[in-house]
Amino acid sequence: MKKSYKLKLEGKEWKDCLKEAFNKKKKDIKMDGFRKGQVPYEVYVKKLGIETLYMDAVDMAVDILYARLLSDKDTITPAATPGIDLKAVTDDYVELEFTLVSSPDIKLGKYKKLGVKKEKIEVSEEEIEHELGHLKEQFAEVKVKDDKEKIKEGDVAVIDFEGFLNGVAFKGGKGENYSLTIGSHTFIPGFEEQLVGLKKGDQKDVNVTFPENYHSEELKGKPVVFKVKINEVKERVFPEFNKEFFEDLNVGGVTSLDDLKNYIKKNKKAEKEHQLEDEYLFKCLDKVVEESKFEIPEEMTEDEVNRLVREFSEKLKYQGLKLEDYLKFANTNLDEFKKSLKDEANKRVGYRLVMDAIVDAEKLEVTDDELEKGLDEAAKNYGMKREDFEKEIGSKELFKYDLLMKKAMKVVTE
């Protein structure tokens, strides 16, 4: 259901918003005859006009009127960010129109005993060997090779390089004393392979072609030449699984290769159990969604798409990257990126809708005792004090909702 509501903020309430908008920008206002930040409200309005405060004051009015709207028992429960339309603004009042969308009606299909099979958990010898290889990589030492020894796959070449397009050096194509692991595929395809067989002091023109999907319009699909000098060659020396290695590893109970394999197998199994539980849950939810009938409002999809964008942007920040840089590198823009997330967004919204419907159908609830116990356990798991954990999550109600969803998940998966 979609419904619109017109609300006015007038009289003293609107005047207070205008004054608050002025107070927020007052510290930055410069005006002849007054020190910075000391201009009186009446002088500012007379000189620059009250209209200059409208937009900031409207933002405050939105918060006031939306809270008022939600407190009205006749207002539908919004399931997405409201649409807000400024209908009128004057010195005396502001009128806003809020368009709210509620969750769609849902005809819940079968949600118990769904016949979805759980996969058996197995850890193969190949997987264990793969993890042992990771450990060797992690504890490998890098040693400088003899000047006459040639570069081979897996070695680290310390190089100077400069790229040229049609004989002219291009921006971003130069580096000094860059450590390049041969076989890492860090550079353009074909670059690393051409360094194999060289040794310290050698120089070579490396001919490569930039990929067609490269982010730079100037370079995509273009043949270029990199002038490369080998400054040093290093090799990675991998450890032996001996007594000294296990002492350095310092894992309780692991003193031999068999102990290590068992330790890896146990951890790999736990990891797979967690992963398969998640996969099993989503297969069950897919089945419930498939057997239920509902239509997702576009506003709910848009909200979820924006949430996915924020999540992705936060992940990039942890890697020291910005969303704009990622989009440029992927040769796309924000609108196209959002379109690519639409199916995932609809899937998430669908899951949420059927879970809420299951909560209603099963009359599930979280008691105060369950909430308190859940908060205590979660704080303990995160190694935090209870009060610090509550500050971190921001809202007990959100945590309570998560506990409710876990109950609904249990109904679906049992």
Phi, psi of 369 (to 5 degrees): -65, -40
Residue whose pair of structure tokens reads 């736990």 in the numeric block: 270
Contact call for residues 119 and 272 (beta carbons, < 8 A): no
Q: What angle do CA 259, 260, 265 make, to 5 degrees?
A: 100
Please answer whether residues 88 and 6 qualify as being in contact, where contact means their C-beta atoms are separated by less than 8 angstroms: no
SS3 284: helix
Work out the percent of the chain whose per-residue pLDDT is above 70.
Answer: 100
The pLDDT tens digits of the residues spanning 29-64 come to 888 778 887 888 998 989 899 999 999 999 999 999
82 closest CA partner among 14, 18, 7, 16: 7
Name residue 332's amino acid: T
For residue 355, what pLDDT is reported? 95
Residues in the chain: 414
What is the spatial distance between Cα 128 and Cα 130, in angstroms, rounded to a whole number? Answer: 5
pLDDT, position 394: 83
Listing DSSP states for 182-219 in one string gives TTS--SSTTTGGGGTT--TT-EEEEEEE--TT-S-TTT
* Nearest Cα to Cα of residue 344 among 276, 282, 253: 282
User: What was the pLDDT predicted at 346?
Assistant: 96
Per DSSP (E only), the strands in 92-222 are 93-101, 141-144, 156-165, 168-181, 203-209
pLDDT of residue 340: 95
Q: Hey, what are 91's tokens?
A: 């010195």
Confidence of residue 91 (pLDDT cuts 50, 70, 90): very high
Q: Which of 34-38, 264-268, 313-317, 360-364 has the lowest mean pLDDT?
A: 34-38
Other Cβ atoms within 10 Å of 101 Cβ, number: 21
> 3-state class of 364 per DSSP?
coil
Tokens of 280: 């099993």
pLDDT at 357 > cutoff 90? yes
SS3 343: helix
User: And the tokens for 398?
Assistant: 């959100």
| Of 86 and 320, the one with more pLDDT | 86
Closest residue by Cα to residue 206 from 175, 233, 236, 171: 175
Question: Do 4 and 101 meet the contact criterion of CB atoms below 8 Å apart?
Answer: no
The stretch 222-241 carries a mean pLDDT of 93
The whole-chain average pLDDT of the chain stands at: 92
Whether the CB-CB separation of 153 and 193 falls below 8 Å is answered with: no
Q: Which DSSP state fits 356? A: H
Q: Which residue has the higher pLDDT, 22 or 394?
A: 22
Give the bridge partners for 8, in sequence order.
95
Angle at the Cα of 49 from the Cα atoms of 43 and 55, rounded to 5 degrees? 120
pLDDT at 247: 85
- pLDDT tens, position by position, 239-297: 888 888 888 888 888 899 999 999 999 999 999 999 999 999 999 999 999 999 999 99
Which residues, including other chains, have CB under 8 Å from residue 269's CB and lie 6 or more apart? 121, 123
Vertex 342: Cα angle to 339 and 347 (nearest 5): 170
CA distance from start to end of the chain: 33
Q: What pLDDT does 217 receive?
A: 85
Residue 334 has which token pair? 């924000």
Helix (H, G, I), strand (E, B) or coil at 311: helix
3 has a pLDDT exceeding 90: yes
CB-CB contact of 135 with 320 (8 Å): no
Q: What is the sign, positive or negative, of the torsion defined by CA atoms of 92, 56, 392, 402?
A: positive
Q: What's the rounded Cα separation, in Å, for the pair 371 and 379?
A: 12
The closest of 167, 229, 154, 224 to 196, measured between CA atoms, is 154
